Amino acid sequence: MKYTASYPAARPRRLRQSDWVRRLTREHRLCRDDLIWSIIIHDGADDEVPVAAMPGVARLSVRAAAAAAKRASKLGIPAIAIFPYIDGAKKDSSGREALNPEGLVCTAVRAMKDAAPEVGLMVDVALDPFTDHGHDGLLHEGRILNDETVKVLTEQALIQVRAGADIVAPSDMMDGRVGAIRSALDAEGHQDAMIMSYAAKYASAFYGPYREAIGSAKALTGDKRTYQMDFGNTDEAMREVALDVSEGADMLLVKPGIAYLDIVSRVKAEFGLPTYAFQVSGEYAMIKAAVANGWVEEDRIVLETLTAFKRAGADGVVTYFAAKAAELLG
């Protein structure tokens, strides 16, 4: 970048002196169209069950999720990402409940589509909410089975799309799952169903509150480092993304968010596909904790962090703050 003048002829503060000129010269803008609202649903009777680790977030019943879809429509939020909390009695080592077409996710998808058909629905493709060991795949003698898991995930994605899901989002990080899901969807006539791949998902300490929210925290045995990425790697992320692109991913997702802006930037620059970031539960919880202690101003920090994703190159953000941000953005 070249500058044509130096101080005192050039005074950058001229362009910051009033609100109107700051708005006029702003390089990156956040709008409601950039938001995907992350919600947790549950199969209980109560409309809302607060999540202790995520103040302001509650597990929603199917009825409350349908109401949330209507609210998203009124707020101008384009899409909702759905994550389930199921009764522990329905969990087993194979995650069999993930393949139930009358289960929680499919029931919620149908109800939400009936309530607000104009709102896109994105569903999680992974087994961790459904397994009694808390892993995203099938576990055998302490090892996650890749190819066997992909077969189950493919069937899970098909069932979700049959129920009305618009986007399937495999978050499991098994090798080859995007291609398998794409082939299965196309073979069954679901060519328009979209895949948002968790193309670069890191083994992160930021996921703790989410695991409480979906009920897998206490169940998890070991960790997920054999399939989620090492947080020290960037080139590996590019290889992961390249594979998912070659297998038919329509959109790409980087997870977690704020600590991985460099990955967001590289992915968008190198591949050019619609690229998203996930402002995960740990990020949400840290902000809410700081707000509760009076250390930061919530409205400002929500918009600032979400805009940071846009500045890094993201086309949008999956966030628990979507409804609040939409209200702030007017």
Active-site residue identified among 224, 255, 310, 324: 255
Helix (H) or strand (E) holding 58: strand 58-60
* Residue 59, C-beta contacts closer than 8 angstroms, at least 6 positions apart: 40, 41, 42, 44, 48, 49, 51, 85, 213
Mean pLDDT of the chain: 96
255 labelled catalytic: yes
What pLDDT shows up at residue 234?
98
Taking the C-alpha atoms of residue 94 and residue 98, their distance in angstroms, rounded to an integer, is: 9
Identified catalytic residue from 113, 201, 224, 268: 201
C-alpha 187 chain-centroid distance: 27
Q: Which CATH superfamily is domain 30-329 in?
A: Aldolase class I (3.20.20.70)
What is the rounded distance in angstroms from the CA atom of residue 21 to the CA atom of residue 14? 9
Whether residue 90 lies in the annotated active site: no
**Domain residue extents for the chain:** 30-329
Distant-in-sequence, close-in-space partners of 65: CB < 8 Å, separation ≥ 6: 39, 41, 82, 108, 111, 112
pLDDT at 28: 96
pTM for the model: 0.96
User: Which residues, in sequence order, are CB contacts of 302 under 8 Å at separation 6+?
Assistant: 287, 321, 324, 325, 328
| pLDDT tens, residue by residue, 268-319 | 999 999 999 999 999 999 999 999 999 999 999 999 999 999 999 999 999 9
- What does the pLDDT look like over 154-163, one tens digit per residue? 999 999 999 9
How many CB atoms lie under 10 A from the CB of residue 3? 7
The torsion defined by the Cα of 75, 77, 302 and 212, in degrees rounded to 10, comes to 110
Statement: residue 100 has pLDDT above 70: yes
Q: Would the pLDDT of 90 be above 90? A: yes
Query: Which residues does residue 167 pair with via DSSP β-bridges, in sequence order?
Result: 122, 194
Task: Look at 1-5, 153-157, 169-173 and tell me which has the smallest mean pLDDT.
Answer: 1-5
Q: Is the pLDDT of residue 5 over 90?
A: no
The stretches of 199-260 forming alpha helices (DSSP H) are 208-214, 235-247
* Separation of alpha carbons 321 and 324, rounded Å: 5
Cα 152 to Cα 91, 149, 155, 177, 308: the distances in Å are: 15, 5, 5, 10, 36
Does an H or E element contain 251, and which?
strand 251-255
Cβ atoms of 82 and 65 within 8 Å: the answer is yes
